[in-house]
Amino acid sequence: MSDLAAPDYAEPLEAWRTWRVVSGPDGPRLSSLFFEEVWKPNAAVEARCNRRSWLDRFGRFRQAHAAPGEHCECGVYGARIEQAAAYLWHPRIAPRRAHLHVLGRVRLWGDVVECERGYRAALAYPAELIVPALPGGRSGEIADGLGRYGVPVRLVECRTREEIVQAARDTLRPAA
């Protein structure tokens, strides 16, 4: 299922992502890094294309399409672990008041397009979350709260991105 070299798009495939943690109405929630898009517990995220609104600002029209568009950049992204981890705050320099970043495996399904940064999918849901334990932070509380997503959540001590990646690899089942 997580063989990235030969994905079978009829089945969900698994890749890696970094999320930002934001405050939800009753606890921490995962959000996309670059958009205000909160992932709800127990609900698949459905990709939308924002390109049309960008072009409309310049007075041009382009027909909206279902995400992921083949020649677009829309869709929910998943990548190889090193690519996903590159978006993490560096644990040592993470400012205390910045949003915590978490790494994790993401399940992608529906239409999935392969791209140079990994995959862009129509539908997604987390498969496992790796929460870096930052000194002085609320990482433990956040890890507990993220349990609402109903997937394994691991709080890991780490000083570098490489240690997070190693901890994340250690969570993989032997068959994966």
Position 69 contacts Zn ion (CB under 5 A):
yes
Of 34, 6, 3, 10, whose CA–CA distance to 20 is shortest? 34
| CA dihedral over 44, 129, 163, 132, signed as positive or negative | positive
What does DSSP assign to residue 79?
B
Between the alpha carbon of residue 153 and those of residues 25, 39, 105, the distances in Å are 20, 15, 11
Taking the least distance from each CB to Zn ion, the nearer of 74 and 131 is: 74
Minimum CB distance to Zn ion, residue 70 (Å): 9
Taking the least distance from each CB to Zn ion, the nearer of 48 and 99 is: 48
Minimum CB distance to Zn ion, residue 65 (Å): 6
157 SS3 class: strand
CA distance 66 to 71: 12
CA distance 151 to 42: 10
Name which position in 13, 45, 49, 165 contacts Zn ion (CB under 5 A): 49
Name which position in 15, 45, 47, 74 contacts Zn ion (CB under 5 A): 74
46 SS3 class: strand
Taking the least distance from each CB to Zn ion, the nearer of 67 and 158 is: 67
- 5-13, 22-30, 69-77, 107-115 -> range binding Zn ion (CB under 5 A): 69-77
Position 51 contacts Zn ion (CB under 5 A):
yes
Scanning residues 115 to 144, which ones bind Zn ion (CB under 5 A)? none
Q: Give yes or no for a contact between 120 and 75, defined as CB atoms under 8 angstroms apart.
A: yes
Q: Cα angle vertex 138, ends 133, 142, to 5°?
A: 85
- 26-34, 74-82, 107-115, 124-132 -> range binding Zn ion (CB under 5 A): 74-82
- 37-45, 68-76, 120-128, 153-161 -> range binding Zn ion (CB under 5 A): 68-76
Position 52 contacts Zn ion (CB under 5 A):
no
Site residues for Zn ion per CB under 5 A? 49, 51, 69, 72, 74
